[in-house]
Amino acid sequence: MTHVAPQKIDCHVHLIGDGSSGGGCWLRLKSIAHRLMARIILHQVGLPSSALQNGLDAQIENRLVDLVCGSSLDAVVLLAQDIPHRDDGTPMPENGAFFVPNHYLLQVCSRHPGLFLPAVSIHPARRDSMDELDRCLFAGARVLKLLPNCLNVDYADPRYRPFWEKMAAANMILLSHTGGELSLPVMNHQFADPRLLSHPLDCGVTVIAAHCAGRSGLWDADHTDALLDMFGKWPRLFGDNSALCSPVRCRTLPKILPESIRQRIVHGSDFPISVSGFGPWRMGLIDRDTWRASSQEPNVLERDVLLKRAIGFDDAQLTRMAQLLGNKSSDPLTISPP
């Protein structure tokens, strides 16, 4: 029997779009600051700012294919983004900053099988949430992404239990934002707390806590210790290291580098959020030469891989997503709790 090396996967890559291909995406750039930030982000990922007026859907899709193929990664988990909803299921598109519908995400992923793995996004208060979950599972989605503080998702709401139970039965992984959020409008700051994830975990869902619940701003609450405490109780709980090569979020890195914690960490970039060695250098985690060398790497996905390696993450973090996707909820996890 030949041994197949496990795939190296970036578990946290955002799809964005402007609806120019008819897929239903939108991007709300209300202020000059937002438009400026969008231009900076496009520049970092290697697209001209004219992409904002000129078919962003196709340009982002093509650029992502080039970036993944030009990196040492085998695949990326590509994320949809639902709109905020009230607890009674009323949609609140006016409170969202961008929207990537599941059907569009699934279409994009089907054009690049093996390269893009879909992470759909369904607010559990949606009146069609169970049907939409069925549709997405039928289409092959294995991951669901939520951003509870921005989408207004209260994980403790007992009405969502059947939704988590269906996810668990289907071995679907919940990739959940944890900690504060700076780049998008926040609806409920309390939902940054990773302890709320005990509700889907209690229903048997495997959960990846994005950003390991660290700070996104200078003064917001740091929930990383609460998350690390939970690792002992919940063997199906993991954290991703996405966006941690940014000047503010890099402060989370030292807490998740000990070997016992690294066993629970999944590699992620948070594309198109900026990737820079400045923060890790300032924290003393890499030297100046490594920071300089990383800034010479034009491929942002590969730059993130290079920096994470230099910081102390290894191939086990890069292949952990493949391992999680291979696990069934009935299988014992091969990863031991710290």
Write out the residues near Zn ion by the rule CB under 5 A: 270
Q: Please, which residue, 61 or 270, has the CB nearer to Zn ion?
A: 270
Say if CB 183 and CB 196 are below 8 A apart: no
Smallest gap, in angstroms, from Cβ of residue 12 to Zn ion? 6
Tell me which residue has tokens 């207004």. Answer: 152
Smallest gap, in angstroms, from Cβ of residue 121 to Zn ion? 11
| Cβ-based neighbour number of residue 7 at 10 Å | 17
Q: Please, which residue, 185 or 204, has the CB nearer to Zn ion?
A: 185
Q: Please, which residue, 147 or 306, has the CB nearer to Zn ion?
A: 147
Q: Classify residue 216 by its DSSP letter.
A: S
Smallest gap, in angstroms, from Cβ of residue 251 to Zn ion? 17
Q: Please, which residue, 271 or 291, has the CB nearer to Zn ion?
A: 271
Say if CB 261 and CB 5 are below 8 A apart: no
Query: Distance between CA atoms of 157 and 300, rounded to whole angstroms?
Result: 38
Smallest gap, in angstroms, from Cβ of residue 26 to Zn ion? 18
Kindly report whether the peptide bond that precedes residue 185 is cis, defined as omega within 30 degrees of 0: no
Say if CB 275 and CB 308 are below 8 A apart: no
Q: Please, which residue, 67 or 168, has the CB nearer to Zn ion?
A: 67
Smallest gap, in angstroms, from Cβ of residue 127 to Zn ion? 26
Nearest residue to the partner Zn ion, using Cβ: 270
Say if CB 76 and CB 116 are below 8 A apart: yes
Q: Please, which residue, 18 or 270, has the CB nearer to Zn ion?
A: 270
| Cβ-based neighbour number of residue 119 at 10 Å | 31
Q: Is 241 helix (H, G, I), strand (E, B) or coil?
A: coil
Alpha-carbon distances of 219 from 165, 222, 273, rounded to whole Å: 36, 9, 20
Tokens representing 295?
Answer: 């800034």
Smallest gap, in angstroms, from Cβ of residue 159 to Zn ion? 26
Say if CB 212 and CB 245 are below 8 A apart: no
Q: Please, which residue, 121 or 294, has the CB nearer to Zn ion?
A: 121
Smallest gap, in angstroms, from Cβ of residue 106 to Zn ion? 19
